[in-house]
Amino acid sequence: AYKIASFKPGTEIVWQRVRDYWGAKLPVKIGRENFDRQRFSYFLDDNASWQAFTKGGFEDFRVESRAQRWAVEYTFPAIKAGDVIKAEYPTTSPEPMQAYVMNTRRPLFQDVRVRQALTYAYDFESMNRTIFFGAYTRTDSYFEGGDLASSGLPQGKELEILQQYRDKLPPELFTQEFKLPVYTTPQSGRENLRKAYDLFKQAGWVNRGGKLVNEKTGEPFRIEFLGNDPVDERVAGPLIDNLRRLGIDATLRIVDDSQYTNRTRAFDFDMLA
């Protein structure tokens, strides 16, 4: 166990190990909490954190979350001198989710066909190849890597539970294994975009003069992506381009962390980047 040794609000906190902690020998604690002191420094900007790390004396351990940085930016002097070791470790725990999140509280996204159409417009394969340096594997479950991850068709106890709600669930849930659209060739890309448009049309959206509009009201289909990192421009760009090809008025708004937090808490967004 640790107690606070010192802190600077908004800057850092230092934790001191409690040597006479009563639970130190409990099985759940054995092999853990081995450091006498731990210092956590806070940065509001990831780039500032990265620059501090490359100069040394800031972090003992860093988990890298950007594929581009991992691929091409670990060339600073401490790496070359062997003072920083770059290594990959196989994961044995559920993976964190990284995704575009739709605000289904908004009427625009309440039709499942619209949500499916937006998914068909997402070209993961090209983005992984050109932006993420081939470092990513696409997740197809919110609980990827864990016991609760979806796979195959429902069976056993899972099927037994779902049968009770069969009349309220999509029929294909019981007959088709879930698969995300794949962009492997230019032809498959065109097919996916055609499928996306067909789904939009089924949901009441049609292309008029190059713009996707509501067939009954003429209201244009607009989506604003909300992000809090300039990198979001690079990541969201390919999807926005595909949506514009379908006639959607798609834009990206980058805000600071406080605005991002306030807007997400108030559900004041269309999609999160």
**What's the pLDDT at 61?**
81
pLDDT tens profile 143-195: 888 888 888 899 999 999 999 999 999 999 999 998 999 999 999 999 999 99
Q: Which amino acid is at 31?
A: G
Among 32, 26, 80, which Cα is nearest to 56's? 80
d(CA 159, CA 61) in angstroms, rounded, equals: 44
- Please give the backbone phi and psi of residue 129, each rounded to the nearest 5 degrees, phi first: -75, -40
- Please give the backbone phi and psi of residue 135, each rounded to the nearest 5 degrees, phi first: -85, -15
Average pLDDT, the chain: 93
DSSP 23-48: TTTSTTTTT----SEEEEE--S-HHH
d(CA 165, CA 162) in angstroms, rounded, equals: 5
Judged against a pLDDT cut of 90, whether residue 90 lies above it is answered with: no
Whole-model pTM?
0.80
- Please give the backbone phi and psi of residue 181, each rounded to the nearest 5 degrees, phi first: -60, 145
Superfamily of domain 101-138+180-272: Dipeptide-binding Protein; Domain 3 (3.10.105.10)
Q: Work out the widest C-alpha separation in the chain, in whole angstroms.
A: 74
Residues of the chain with CATH 3.10.105.10: 101-138+180-272
What six digits make up the tokens of 91? 């994961």
Q: Which residues of 146-175 are buried (b: 16+ CB within 10 A; e: fewer)?
A: eeeeeeeebeeeeeeeeeeeeeeeeeeeee
d(CA 272, CA 236) in angstroms, rounded, equals: 10
Alpha-helix runs per DSSP H in the chain: 46-55, 67-72, 77-80, 112-120, 124-130, 156-163, 186-202, 231-245, 257-265
